[in-house]
Amino acid sequence: MNYDLILARYGEIGVKSSKIRARFEKRLVKNIKATFECKVERNQGRIYIHPKNFDEGIEKLNHVFGVVSYSPVVSTKTTYEDIEKDLTEYVKELIKENLIDENTKFAIKCRRVGNHDFTSQEMGAYCGKVVRNVVSAPVDLTNPDLTIFVEVREDDTYIFHEKIRGPGGLPLGTQGKVVALISSGIDSPVAAYLMMKRGCEVIALHFNNNPFSGPKVTENFNLLVDQLNTYAKGSPIKKRVVDYGEYLQTAKAKAPERMTCVLCKSGMYKIAEKLATELGANAIVDGSSVGQVASQTLPNILVTRYGVDIPILSPLIGLDKEEITAIAKDIGTFKISEIDDGGCSAVPRYPQTHADLDFSKKACKDMNQDEYIQKAYENIRRLD
């Protein structure tokens, strides 16, 4: 098929005020252009994309947040003669691709924007006759095997039969920055992805637990961020790493061992808050899901977040492992997270699952938490 362009559609952007919608549209166009080489036009709730490499555009547009669906399109002028000519050629190509024959039930769906001397129903009926002149296929408006869309917009008309689902959400970069705690596991990359889908730029913060974990953990973190960055064109993910081994050694030596995971997560949030303040981020993001591991029981969630003054967002909080894994597989992070990294040997045999706030505050004081948090933060490293 000799397609002219890609027609992209957005969803909730369209319900914003005109000023906000225009800003979001501009950001969406910027992100599309950063994803693949193309020319882009905006007009009445549609994005018209002219990619330099058409196949690349079709493939990579599925990684641009804000795009709800898109279609490869043949364009023509809004005259009966031009529509008949190009729709006839379009149907002949469908026949060559074995997408329609005399047994294929088809429907025409016509949408019209602007002033014309015909209605949508009249143009739809006309296009149906054009198709029937090429192939004697039966019309079925209720349950068609193939639907041909004819979108009439002022002087231009667009013909297509595919609606490819995009990632949806809001354009990346329209909702501020977040600091995302990302390990080498399954959950945290999915949490970061979901916040990106809501338009948030991500600063990925990783904790290197050496000597309690090996170098594979950081290697996997880098691979995961690389994969997430395929969705982050226009706002690449910034990477930061904290050497966290000394903090964990102090927690294990000066506080009850069963509190190690609680103190570990508490320290992570407080270091993330410092980084968020420095880099102008508005929230912290993590992969918590209620009850999934010891640090994610409701009492522990309360205790570990005590003393942190900015929002901590957990987009996976109500999802189970099966649901999280399905998203990870869909976005390409699951196989990376499955790579054996050796785990963390700092985890106690019997971790605390119902932490008491007063007891936790005492444990923080006993290990002089603030001093070791500041020491770890001062040695934070960039991996960009």
Q: What is the pLDDT of residue 352?
A: 82
The closest alpha carbon to 267, from 372, 379, 380, belongs to 372
- CA–CA distances in Å: residue 248 to residues 62, 143, 167, 373: 41, 62, 39, 10
The closest alpha carbon to 269, from 238, 237, 242, 229, belongs to 242
Report residue 340's pLDDT band, with 50, 70 and 90 as the boundaries: confident
* pLDDT tens-digit map of 237-295: 999 999 999 999 999 999 898 888 999 999 999 999 999 999 999 999 999 998 877 77
Q: Per residue, what are the HEC states of 166-216?
A: CCCCCCCCCCCEEEEECCCCCHHHHHHHHHHHCCCEEEEEEEECCCCCCHH
Strands (E) across the chain are located at 5-9, 38-43, 46-51, 69-77, 106-113, 146-153, 156-160, 164-165, 177-181, 201-208, 238-243, 283-285, 312-313, 381-382
- CA–CA distances in Å: residue 287 to residues 46, 60, 342: 35, 26, 20
Q: Regarding predicted confidence, which is higher, 182 or 46?
A: 182
Class of CATH domain 177-382: alpha beta
Percent of the chain with pLDDT over 70: 100
Region 51-76: mean pLDDT is: 95
Q: Which CATH number fits domain 5-165: 3.30.420.10, 3.20.20.140, 3.30.2130.30, 3.90.230.10?
A: 3.30.2130.30
Region 197-223: mean pLDDT is: 92
Average pLDDT over the chain, rounded to whole?
Answer: 93
Contact indicator for 315, 195 with CB cutoff of 8 Å: yes
Answer yes or no: same fold for 5-165 and 177-382: no
CA angle 294, 347, 290 (to 5 degrees): 15
The closest alpha carbon to 200, from 217, 177, 182, 170, belongs to 177
Average the pLDDT over each of 95-99, 174-178, 265-269, 296-300 and give the range with the smallest value.
Answer: 296-300
Q: What is the pLDDT of residue 184?
A: 86
Contact indicator for 360, 303 with CB cutoff of 8 Å: yes
* pLDDT tens-digit map of 97-149: 999 999 999 999 999 988 898 999 999 999 999 999 999 999 999 999 999 99
Q: What is the pLDDT of residue 384?
A: 67
* pLDDT tens-digit map of 361-374: 999 998 999 999 99
Report residue 313's pLDDT band, with 50, 70 and 90 as the boundaries: very high
Q: Find how far residue 239's CA is from the centre of its chain.
A: 18
Domain map of the chain by residue range?
5-165, 177-382
